[in-house]
């Protein structure tokens, strides 16, 4: 993967080419002071100047004394004021309104998928700039876009291309994860398709395997193939309930992009990629070896694929945890802080009490054992 391939996969590069086949979106240049604010590791302070500011997450001057916790040991208290970006804020609100009031936010390449747990609605759906800031400031994926977009590129010695950072606002669409697929293109050939949400088993995928694969291949050959700036890339699609295929995203062909149910070794090797369920017919004791050879030949002619390898999670595979789980804080912390699970709180207090008693006992024992 070369730096130029990463540059080509920026939203503002591919969106004009494939506008007709993707979700309506607006692109706003990110002013430098907003970039600085996003990169600043300091307290998360969100400006209250837009109407939908979520007070729960802010630390503004209206907050009552109880919430004014001084986090540092420093004796001098510094007042943190919310930065204001009035012009940018009004542009963002205008764009959100033009897109129907609910948007999905991204930067040049990434969405803050790793931070959705922090939002009040546990979703990436945003109604205001403060919703967007909260997600962006909590996301490692966003930090990656801002700080190391050319990570893992093979041409590290060449100078980094200049990047103009952009806020991408996409019209909010209720996408069903079972309808999402990732497609790998090498030398302008669609070589592999993977279920995107591979942690779950979706019955409809195994039932409609052929229709899905065919619809995606048609979409590729009619609208994508030879139309992009590169011949190696990865594109994500959504197949809606009517069977129509939509482009969701374009990604570089390389390790920065999750290879899902394939491995990058397989994808980059240039060799034939096998389908998922490669199971040879079993040799039945009653059959002669000649009959078995014929059976295997018949099996191969049935299973030799012409098109891309298509992989999806089958019921036999253990369903795995969500890949973004490691970015979250433990569920118990959330329950405790929200006070939603009274039993957990009682258990927690009991645990604290018994720990306290244990340490008191230990102290007493130590005192007894101590040399006189
Ligand atoms: N406009 C949208 N509305 C709602 N959800 C979306 C929208 N666009 C994408 N998503 C969801 O977010 C996920 C990540 O989006 P994507 O643009 O591919 O970001 P990334 O490149 O960071 O993974 C998608 O798989 C899809 O489930
Ligand atoms: Mg992507």
Q: Could you tell me which of 310, 291, 111, 106 has the C-alpha nearest to residue 205?
A: 310
Check if 310 has its Cβ closer than 6 Å to any atom of ligand 1: no
Tell me the best of 27, 124, 233 to mutate to test the pocket of ligand 1, counting ligand atoms within 8 Å of each CB and taking the most: 124
Q: What is the pLDDT of residue 134?
A: 93
Per-chain residues with Cβ under 5 A from ion ligand 2: 249, 251
Least trusted range by pLDDT, from 61-70, 212-221, 234-243? 61-70
Can you give the pLDDT at residue 75? 52
Q: What is the DSSP letter of 224?
A: I
Q: Is the CB of 246 under 6 A from ligand 1?
A: no
For residue 23 and ligand 1, the question of a CB distance below 6 A is answered with: yes
Query: How is residue 214 written in tokens?
Result: 């065919």
List, for residues 172-211, the tens digit of each pLDDT value: 999 999 999 999 999 999 999 999 999 999 999 999 999 9
Which of 43-52, 166-175, 307-316 is predicted with the least confidence, judged by mean pLDDT? 43-52
Note the Cα 260 to chain centre separation in Å: 12
Q: What is the pLDDT of residues 317-338, one digit of tens each?
A: 555 666 666 666 666 665 666 6
C-alpha distances out from residue 161 to 3, 150, 228, 357, Å = 7, 9, 19, 61
Using DSSP, state whether 268 is helix, strand or coil: helix
What are the distances in angstroms from CA 224 to CA 22, 170, 262? 12, 20, 21
Confidence at residue 320, expressed as pLDDT on a 0 to 100 scale: 66
CA of 250 to the centre of ligand 2 (A): 6
278: pLDDT strictly greater than 60: no
């Amino acid at each position: 993967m070369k730096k130029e391939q990463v540059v080509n996969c920026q939203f503002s590069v591919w969106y004009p080419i494939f506008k007709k086949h993707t979700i309506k979106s607006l692109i706003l240049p990110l002013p430098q002071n907003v970039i600085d604010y996003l990169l600043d590791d300091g307290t998360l302070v969100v400006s209250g100047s837009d109407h939908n500011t979520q007070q729960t997450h802010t630390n503004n001057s209206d907050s009552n004394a109880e919430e004014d916790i001084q986090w540092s040991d420093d004796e001098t208290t510094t007042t943190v004021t919310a930065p204001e970006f009035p012009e940018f804020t009004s542009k963002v609100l205008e764009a959100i309104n033009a897109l129907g009031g609910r948007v999905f936010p991204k930067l040049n390449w990434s969405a803050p998928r790793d931070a959705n747990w922090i939002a009040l609605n546990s979703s990436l759906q945003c109604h205001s700039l403060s919703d967007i800031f909260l997600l962006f400031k909590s996301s490692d994926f966003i930090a990656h876009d801002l700080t190391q977009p050319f990570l893992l590129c093979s041409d590290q010695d060449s100078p980094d291309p200049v990047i103009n950072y952009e806020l991408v606002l996409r019209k909010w669409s209720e996408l069903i994860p079972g309808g999402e697929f990732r497609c790998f293109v090498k030398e302008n050939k669609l070589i592999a398709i993977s279920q995107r949400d591979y942690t779950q088993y979706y019955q409809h995928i195994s039932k409609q395997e052929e229709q899905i694969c065919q619809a995606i291949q048609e979409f590729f050959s009619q609208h994508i193939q030879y139309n992009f700036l590169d011949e190696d890339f990865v594109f994500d699609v959504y197949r809606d309930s009517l069977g129509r295929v939509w482009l969701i995203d374009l990604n570089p062909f390389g390790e920065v992009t999750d290879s899902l149910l394939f491995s990058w070794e397989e994808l980059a090797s240039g060799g034939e990629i096998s389908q998922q369920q490669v199971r040879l017919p079993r040799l039945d004791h009653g059959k002669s070896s000649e009959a078995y050879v014929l059976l295997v030949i018949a099996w191969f002619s049935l299973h030799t694929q012409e098109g891309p390898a298509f992989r999806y999670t089958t019921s036999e595979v253990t369903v795995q945890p969500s890949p973004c789980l490691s970015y979250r804080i433990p569920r118990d912390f959330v329950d405790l802080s929200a006070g939603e699970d009274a039993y957990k709180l009682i258990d927690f207090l009991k645990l604290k009490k018994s720990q306290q008693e244990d340490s008191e006992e230990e102290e007493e024992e130590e005192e007894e054992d101590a040399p006189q």
